[in-house]
């Protein structure tokens, strides 16, 4: 069981969070868009830390699970906690894919594919605009103002 509160933001909290998004962030996070390959700010990030949901701050992926997939998007072989990333069947582009969304706020993150490295053989392909980042020793983002594990320093 996760140490983080997965309760979705209420309507007022969600409206406040959405108001802080850029048009591109809103297009990707709220309308299941995709950023162009090889342009995301986290594609070449090599810092140690934790990647979090851009909208609600939930930790999603550790930097230790990031790898260079050559696809043009940040890729990870395992989530921070499987309970933090929800999978949805996606048939929107004439193919079957698995969309991944934040388990707390339902923001679109990207897709997961079965062609990653060991030990999971998964490639969680993320949009940089869907992510925030807390470097090693920094506190996790906490836009919902929740206490407990939310305030712990990043891994």
| Residue positions annotated with a catalytic role | 125
Q: Annotated binding residue at 39? A: no
Burial 57-84 (b: 16+ CB within 10 A, else e): bbbbbbbebbeebeeebbbbbbbbbeeb
Exposed / middle / buried, residue 22 (Cβ in 10 Å: 0-12, 13-18, 19+)? exposed
Q: Annotated binding residue at 52? A: no
Cα(85)–Cα(76) distance, integer angstroms: 12
The token duo for 35 is 């950023």
Count of C-beta atoms within a 10 Å radius of residue 130: 29
The token duo for 25 is 């962030």
Query: Using only C-alpha atoms, what is the Rg of the chain?
Result: 15
Binding residues for Zn(2+): 53, 56, 102, 105
Binding residues: 53, 56, 102, 105
């Amino acid at each position: 069981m996760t140490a983080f509160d997965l309760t979705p933001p209420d309507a007022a909290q969600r409206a406040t969070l959405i108001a802080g998004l850029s048009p591109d962030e809103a297009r990707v996070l709220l309308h299941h868009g995709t950023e162009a390959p090889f342009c995301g700010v986290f594609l070449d990030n090599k810092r140690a830390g934790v990647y979090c949901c851009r909208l609600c701050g939930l930790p999603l992926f550790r930097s230790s699970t990031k790898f260079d997939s050559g696809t043009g998007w940040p890729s990870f072989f395992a989530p921070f906690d499987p309970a933090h990333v929800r999978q949805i069947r996606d048939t929107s582009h004439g193919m079957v894919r698995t969309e991944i969304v934040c388990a707390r706020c339902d923001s679109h993150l990207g897709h997961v594919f079965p062609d990653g490295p060991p030990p999971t053989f998964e490639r969680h392909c993320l949009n940089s605009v869907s992510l925030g980042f807390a470097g090693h020793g920094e506190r996790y983002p906490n836009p919902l103002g929740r206490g407990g594990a939310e305030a712990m320093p990043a891994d």
